[in-house]
Amino acid sequence: MSVVTVSSKGQIVLPKDLREELEIREGDSLEVQREGDELHLRRLSSPSPPADWRAWRGILEGSGALEDHLREHREALERERLP
């Protein structure tokens, strides 16, 4: 059992091990229900999908990495064509 403290704004922090075990991530929605003097949390949204390549889109923008890659590729092709 974990113990959490309520902040002055009424906020609590869910323990990391529980968040990881239940795959609760930033932006997920939880429903709070009261039963007598108990509060129950239930996830409303399904677990967030893992980050994929789209999360990296644009990360190298302006770095010249694509131009460098294309130049190296052209140079490799030219080397293969030479006798």
- Which pLDDT belongs to residue 30? 92
Q: Is 2 left (phi over 0), alpha (psi -120 to 50) or beta?
A: beta
40-69: average pLDDT: 77
Tell me the two tokens of residue 51. Answer: 């980050």
Q: How far apart are CA 35 and CA 37, in angstroms?
A: 6
Q: What is the DSSP letter of 58?
A: T
According to DSSP H, which parts of the chain are helical? 16-22, 65-81
**Residue 62 pLDDT grade (very low, low, confident, very high; cuts 50, 70, 90):** confident
CATH of domain 1-47: 2.10.260.10
Is pLDDT above 60 for 46?
yes
pLDDT at 47: 58
